[in-house]
Amino acid sequence: MRLPTIDELDLAGQRVLLRADLNVPVRDGVVVDDFRVRAALPTIRRLRGEAIVIVCSHLGRPKGVDLALRLDPVAARLADLGGFPVTKLDGVVGPEVEAAVGRAAAGDVLMLENTRFEPGETANDPALVRALARLADVFVLDAFGTAHRAHATTTGIARVLPSAAGPLLLAEVEALNALLVDPPRPFTVVLGGAKVSDKLAVLESLLPKVDQMLIGGGMCFTLLAAQGREVGESLVEPDLIPIVGALLASPDGSKIELPVDLVVADRFAADAETRTLAFGEVPKGWMGLDIGPRTATRFAEAVAGSGSVFWNGPMGVFEWERFRQGTEVVGRAVAQAHGFTVVGGGDSVAAIRLLGLEELPSHVSTGGGAGLEMLEGRVLPGIAALMEDDE
């Protein structure tokens, strides 16, 4: 897979439309987690050395214009971190935006409004694509987290302007390709999070390729139920029990390791009554909210002995301290492992950042769903559009 790079573009004095992934949590008008803003900074600095940089991104899932999802706080945080002015515009396209871009000079950074305020964004509307094309001379896609969406600012514009992949996107693709093509052995995948349905495709795709698959989080209870275990009031997706049961019974099913002990609660609350059960079953009226200490130790030992590791999804409700132990033990093991380690998914990244360990894994991904789709073996629409441009 060869992607065109920004080194192949003529950037001097050009207007560069940069699709970044600045979809960050904002509370009371303040960015509360700037991981993705920091990740976008090196590319912006590289581009503004020669060009006018027009940054675009979505924020949240607005149904039309939503004042709570304007990008003003993100622009302010980018300016603070970057140490350069960021001109935030009030629209995505239109005469006022075009006039502001026309006044800009090389080195200036402008940020368009939330792209999803435009209904044509998610529909990849040709009219919106044409309007975006009037703003810029070249396009750079550096938003891996949205590269799996065929939107106007990912695939549409890439087919109209000379285009390239940004350094962040290239790093993401390289890291995930390393897991797909002859990964160092043993290759261990750690999956967590709430639902099997969110990870079923990657589970099915990767299971034949891995040496071991460690499953915790809420998703483990559908698999435990498929084994005939008692899961109490834990989260279960009944429709998927036959599917995961067949996976467990398949020749590769022996690679799956499920919790042998659990931390359970009498209700879904931070201050719930808790018990640690020395077996992988949950009494009626209780629910599992974390893997137990024996399981955490087993998972950590497996990770430590691996040549390559992919971790997506926490082991429990890590936002609450009483149900964080499993995620913390596994997260530390991933961060300190000597093999090639990739952390993907918003919650896993949040967890490893909470532990202050985000600098230690080989790669911390800015994309959740995009990373999973790539590991399923799909060519992401945004990447496909760039490859078409290079043909």
Average pLDDT over residues 315-321: 94
Among residues 36, 48, 116, 149, which one is catalytic?
A: 36
| Mean per-residue pLDDT of the chain | 94
Among residues 313, 344, 346, 367, which one is catalytic?
A: 346
Q: 195 an active-site residue? A: yes
Among residues 46, 130, 159, 195, which one is catalytic?
A: 195
Residue 304 confidence (pLDDT): 96
Query: From the CA atom positions of the chain, what is the Rg in Å?
Result: 22
Neighbours of 249 (CB within 10 A): 11
**Least confident stretch, 117-131, 312-326, 343-357:** 343-357
What's the CA gap between 26 and 30, in Å, rounded?
A: 5
Residue 391 has pLDDT above 70, yes or no: no
Neighbours of 85 (CB within 10 A): 11
Residue 154 confidence (pLDDT): 96
Which helix or strand (DSSP H or E) is residue 308 part of? Answer: strand 308-312
Render the burial of 341-360: b for 16+ CB within 10 Å, e for the rest. Answer: bbbbbbbbbbbbbbbebbeb
The pLDDT-based confidence of 278 (bands split at 50, 70, 90) is confident
Query: What percent of the chain is predicted at pLDDT more than 70?
Result: 99
Residue 367 confidence (pLDDT): 80
The pLDDT-based confidence of 369 (bands split at 50, 70, 90) is confident
Q: 377 an active-site residue? A: no
Q: 88 an active-site residue? A: no
What's the CA gap between 296 and 371, in Å, rounded?
A: 24
Residue 78 has pLDDT above 90, yes or no: yes
Q: 346 an active-site residue? A: yes
Residue 178 has pLDDT above 70, yes or no: yes
Q: Mind listing the pLDDT tens digit for each residue in 205-241? A: 999 999 999 999 999 999 999 999 999 999 999 999 9
Residue 25 confidence (pLDDT): 93
Task: List C-alpha distances in Å: 1 to 170, 177, 282.
Answer: 11, 9, 46
Helix, strand, coil % over all residues of the chain, rounded to 5: 40, 15, 40
